[in-house]
A and B are shown apart, each in its own frame.
Chain A
């Protein structure tokens, strides 16, 4: 059949060339965002490889078609809108609202001082308290944040990295006070420090001690919080910082390799912790490229876990992931158009087999989203799930010549990048040498230049303009939230048992200096209402702080 097709294709191609000579195509070269070239048409000739080895069935190695046999026929992906602002009370209101609107999981956004381990009264926190997320200074704030939300009934994802262990400790204690034991808890901490150095910026400690905190969490959760996703290895921010789709896959999986290697080096058995690793990707503008990216990432990770790390448990080989639509693809111009962008990106994530999804709101190029905008974003997911029919069969784009070819191409291109990083000494070394950062910057600049040369059209930005008034009614974070948070902190410090705090912090210091697992003493410290800043300062004194090179 292939020879026949080959001959037919040659003849067809001649005809097509003649037609192009008369009526030129829109471009001389068609490429996707990763600069892979796109052919005029794909045929069975473009899908090399073996169906059973490379594609197989859903829930079967190498999981190209998805990690479960029934996927969304069993249940839809988790609809999980990233939210949090101002005080714990206000964020709690937003969570209760989202749950009432049919959201199925929580996703907590913390403010920057929290993410960098500063209390709200630290000089560097000035102006930042409550701005990009909720301010959490101590267990007292965390208790308010989850008030009225049964932690045995919801799954909670927390975007927290450098101080992830501290926030997890707080979550465990809040649950305990609700009468929910830690083995019942379901959720995720992002806990991915490597992409913070490479792309996101909320690091505290240097790589060595940061990796130790991470492997301590792996070990602790394997024993005590078995349903918890101990890390969400994130390509999202790498992509937002400007990488291509191929780089997103390559850098993320390289970071994943570094975590697995570190945990094995710390004495853990791969199948004890690997089933709880999870991933987080971006869904960007190029629809088919994104679908293929998710499928390629799944296949690549399965192979890496099986072949490189000799995992035996299939769950260790499954790349389970959360997706967020691409924040940097939103435009401040004609913001309602963002609803359409988000719809396409969300659809790509679903066709790519995501386990959970955040859809961005139309006003996020301008501010945090209003309640109305968030509702439209959530409804977008519900329309895809309940009305479009795309969730009724597993991996419906499989077998598309284009999708399968692109899945292969992305896998090959990402694998070659991963090997390059291996040759540099792995992800940590590559980051320390500035390799990932430079690659990302190059791609970001390249993208911007494509937009400015109009090789890439962004509707409403470099074409199809209208005169428009500034969008009114944007969400504003209460300017007094910083002061209120500082007052609350002062009250806490005067009312808690400060002797108990001193004892707990002394124990934390001892454990941090030794090779003991740090989680038990962290749990005791947060239980005593030691603040996040106090805990992180204690660790800063022992671990030191990371300082980035300012690469340009």
Chain B
């Protein structure tokens, strides 16, 4: 739980080649409206670029958005790279078109929560406020 008054820093990222960024942008804006500092990577980011940006920007949270079906491959790589850089304390959450049956595996790998279609922005805000760790 973050201490009161500390601003949570979030990197909203689009890994892979997927161009659907409506959800990522809506979430980014909702998080910002909730008082968080939000950095958006834009489209077509490799897991390396995402982790590099996360470290450079010293974020508390990474939100990964993928609607192309490549989530299993791409999310796992981000987690792997964070471990390599000893940055596992960054809270990683994901969203997109992700079948229920993929979620246990993603969570086992270290993605803390997956938000599927229909999730309200408030649920995401609340989750992050509750689970982001101060770095």
> Contacts A132-B69, A461-B118; is A112 near B17 (CB within 8 Å)?
yes
Decide if A548 is an interface residue (CB 8 Å cutoff).
yes
Interface of B is mostly: loop
Q: Which residues of B contact A444 (CB under 8 A)?
A: 22, 25-26
Q: Which residues of A contact B121 (CB under 8 A)?
A: 448, 452
For the A-B complex with A112-B18, A332-B117, A332-B118 known, give 4 more contacts whose Cβ atoms are closer than 8 Å. Answer: A112-B19, A125-B17, A131-B69, A444-B26
Decide if B83 is an interface residue (CB 8 Å cutoff).
no
- Interface pairs (28), CB distance under 8 Å: A115-B17, A123-B46, A127-B16, A127-B74, A128-B70, A132-B69, A196-B19, A201-B18, A201-B19, A240-B20, A242-B22, A331-B117, A366-B97, A366-B100, A367-B69, A367-B97, A367-B99, A368-B69, A444-B25, A445-B25, A445-B30, A452-B122, A471-B100, A476-B99, A477-B69, A552-B25, A552-B28, A552-B38
Q: Which residues of B contact A476 (CB under 8 A)?
A: 99
Give the docked Cα–Cα distance between A200 and B121 (Å).
22
Residues facing B in A111-126 (CB within 8 A) are 112-113, 115-116, 118, 123-126
Residues facing B in A420-463 (CB within 8 A) are 441, 444-445, 448, 451-452, 458, 460-462
Decide if B116 is an interface residue (CB 8 Å cutoff).
yes
Give the docked Cα–Cα distance between A460 and B21 (Å).
24
Give the docked Cα–Cα distance between A391 and B130 (Å).
55
Residues 403-430 of A, flagged 1 when their CB comes within 8 A of B and 0 if not, give: 0000000000000000000000000000
Residues 70-100 of B, flagged 1 when their CB comes within 8 A of A and 0 if not, give: 1011100000000000000000000001011
Chain B's closest residue to A442 (CB) is: B29
Decide if A265 is an interface residue (CB 8 Å cutoff).
no
Quick check: B25 and A441 within 8 Å, CB to CB?
A: yes
Quick check: A124 and B44 within 8 Å, CB to CB?
A: yes
Residues 327-343 of A, flagged 1 when their CB comes within 8 A of B and 0 if not, give: 01001110000000000
Decide if B101 is an interface residue (CB 8 Å cutoff).
yes
Q: Which residues of A contact B22 (CB under 8 A)?
A: 240-242, 328, 444
Give the docked Cα–Cα distance between A240 and B22 (Å).
8
Residues facing B in A206-264 (CB within 8 A) are 240-242
Decide if B68 is an interface residue (CB 8 Å cutoff).
yes
Q: Which residues of A contact B28 (CB under 8 A)?
A: 552
A234 to chain B, nearest CB (A): 13
Partner of A333, one of B16, B97, B118: B118
Which of B30, B41, B68, B99 counts the most A-chain CB atoms under 10 A from its CB? B99
Q: Which residues of B contact A332 (CB under 8 A)?
A: 116-118
Decide if B105 is an interface residue (CB 8 Å cutoff).
no
Chain A's closest residue to B73 (CB) is: A127
Residues facing B in A270-324 (CB within 8 A) are none
Quick check: B16 and A112 within 8 Å, CB to CB?
A: yes
Give the docked Cα–Cα distance between A108 and B26 (Å).
30
Chain A's closest residue to B26 (CB) is: A448
Q: Hey, which bits of chain A sit against chain B, CB under 8 A?
A: 112-113, 115-116, 118, 123-128, 131-132, 196, 200-202, 240-242, 328, 331-333, 365-368, 441, 444-445, 448, 451-452, 458, 460-462, 470-471, 474, 476-477, 548-550, 552
Give the docked Cα–Cα distance between A492 and B100 (Å).
38
Quick check: B26 and A124 within 8 Å, CB to CB?
A: no
Give the docked Cα–Cα distance between A389 and B29 (Å).
46
> Contacts A124-B46, A461-B118; is A116 near B29 (CB within 8 Å)?
no
Quick check: A474 and B99 within 8 Å, CB to CB?
A: yes
B89 to chain A, nearest CB (A): 25
Among all A-B residue pairs, the 10 with the closest Cβ atoms: A201-B19, A127-B73, A470-B100, A550-B42, A112-B17, A127-B70, A131-B69, A332-B117, A461-B118, A128-B70
Give the docked Cα–Cα distance between A39 and B85 (Å).
60
Give the docked Cα–Cα distance between A227 and B72 (Å).
42
Q: Which residues of B contact A552 (CB under 8 A)?
A: 25, 28-29, 32, 38, 40
Chain B's closest residue to A203 (CB) is: B19
Q: Which residues of A contact B16 (CB under 8 A)?
A: 112, 124, 127-128
Give the docked Cα–Cα distance between A124 and B29 (Å).
28
Quick check: A550 and B17 within 8 Å, CB to CB?
A: no
Chain A's closest residue to B28 (CB) is: A552
Quick check: B97 and A452 within 8 Å, CB to CB?
A: no
Partner of A445, one of B29, B46, B97: B29
Quick check: A201 and B100 within 8 Å, CB to CB?
A: no
B37 to chain A, nearest CB (A): 11
Give the docked Cα–Cα distance between A458 and B68 (Å).
24
Give the docked Cα–Cα distance between A448 and B121 (Å).
8
Quick check: B99 and A126 within 8 Å, CB to CB?
A: no
Partner of B73, one of A126, A445, A548: A126
Residues 88-130 of B, flagged 1 when their CB comes within 8 A of A and 0 if not, give: 0000000001011100000000000000111011100000000
Q: Which residues of A contact B41 (CB under 8 A)?
A: 550
Q: Which residues of B contact A128 (CB under 8 A)?
A: 16-18, 68-70
Chain B's closest residue to A133 (CB) is: B68
Quick check: A365 and B99 within 8 Å, CB to CB?
A: no
A151 to chain B, nearest CB (A): 29
Partner of A132, one of B21, B30, B68, B72: B68
Which of B19, B74, B118 counts the most A-chain CB atoms under 10 A from its CB? B19
Give the docked Cα–Cα distance between A201 and B117 (Å).
20
Give the docked Cα–Cα distance between A477 and B97 (Å).
14
Decide if B43 is an interface residue (CB 8 Å cutoff).
yes
B21 to chain A, nearest CB (A): 7
Quick check: B118 and A331 within 8 Å, CB to CB?
A: yes
Which of A115, A131, A200 counts the most B-chain CB atoms under 10 A from its CB? A131
Which of A444, A451, A460, A549 counts the most B-chain CB atoms under 10 A from its CB? A444
